[in-house]
Chains A and B, each alone.
Chain A
Amino acid sequence: MTGMDAILQGGLQGYLVVALLLFAIGLATVLLRRTLLMQFMGVELMLNAANVALLAFARFRGGDAQAMVFYLFIIAVAACEAAVGLALVIGLYRHRDTTDSDRAASLKQ
């Protein structure tokens, strides 16, 4: 399989390219969008990109179960991050009446 074939037919390279582009889109969301909830979704996207790369490598090493354990830990931490992150967004909205990260530039009111 040459490079282009491997991408189109689901070789390891194809999964890695999808993961890299997914990570880039997530990073662009965090950097370019100002709404905190959008930035939060960008972070989730980056975590997902890491998962895709991890499980792709696991499959091409013969279905390694250790990768699944790692994936479970990542998912658990992502769930914790979702709960605490959204609580922080709600707290910010109560204090500043905004969900715009540019308007939360100072610690004091």
Chain B
Amino acid sequence: MFITFALITLLGALAMLLQKNVIVAGLCMVATFFGVAGLFVLLGNPVAAALQVIVYTGAIMVLVLFVIMMLNSHEEEKAEASRPVQRWVSLALVAALALGSVKLVLASSGVKALNLNGAALPRATTLQNVGAALFADHLLGFEVVGLLLLAAMIGAVALTKRNL
């Protein structure tokens, strides 16, 4: 089960990176987000999976696809200057980062111990636990996030409106 969702996630992301058409790339992103939601279900966290589908695929990707269609920029524009050196250097850096960090995780004894101990622990994250933690310990943060969402909404309207 895990390997299925992991493959959906990674192949979707890879297809997004290689896709020329921006709309198809957006749809690949939707597949990736569903794969991540599946991983959250396997982690015993249905709340996070539901939020992932609702917020990412339901709101953010719809917004992105809407903007792509509105701007009519389906294809990537022709490059002004091809920058082969920068592209190869960045690709090498990313590959080195990925391989190095994967190797570090696999070699780490702390992660191994956590994996062995954690498999036995109770896994369910219930909505009750989350609600209690959110409103008991992080009430101020919750209010600040609400304010941030309001500010982002006003900012987005102010940026897109031609003449206020």
Option from A32, A67, A83 in Cβ contact (under 8 Å) with B156 = A83
Q: How far is the CB of B148 from chain A (nearest CB, A)?
A: 6
Q: How far is the CA of A1 from the CA of B120 in the complex (A)?
A: 13
Grouping DSSP codes into helix (H, G, I), strand (E, B) and loop, the B interface class, with mixed when no group exceeds half, is helix
Whether the pair A87, B155 counts as a contact (CB closer than 8 A) is: yes
A-B contact count (CB 8 A): 255
Whether A28 touches B17, Cβ cut-off 8 Å, given contacts A55-B43, A58-B125, A76-B145, is yes
Q: Are A20 and B90 in contact (CB under 8 A)?
A: no
Whether a CB of chain A sits under 8 angstroms from the CB of B163 is no
A48-B32 in contact (CB<8A): yes
Which of A40, A52, A79 sits near B152, CB closer than 8 Å?
A79
Partner of B43 from the list A33, A59, A66, A88 (CB cut-off 8 Å) is A59
Contacts of A86 in B (CB 8 A): 63-64, 67, 156
Q: Is the CB of A17 within 8 A of B22?
A: no
Give a binary string over B100-144; 1 marks a CB under 8 Å from any A CB, 0 the rest.
011001100001101111110111110001101110011001000
Rounded to whole angstroms, the CA-CA distance of A72 and B132 in the bound complex is: 14
B122 touches A62 (CB 8 A): yes
B164 within 8 A of A: no
Given contacts A12-B118, A55-B45, A84-B156, contact A79 B79 (CB under 8 A): no
Q: Quick one: which of A63-103 are within 8 Å of B by CB?
A: 63-69, 71-73, 75-84, 86-91, 93-94, 98-100, 102-103
Chain A residues with CB below 8 A from B148, complex form: 76-77, 80
CB neighbours of A41 from chain B (8 A): 16, 25-26, 29, 64
Among residues of B, the one whose C-beta sits closest to the C-beta of A24 is B98
Bound together, the chains give a CA A14 to CA B119 distance in angstroms of 13
Decide if B79 touches A63 in the complex (CB within 8 Å).
no
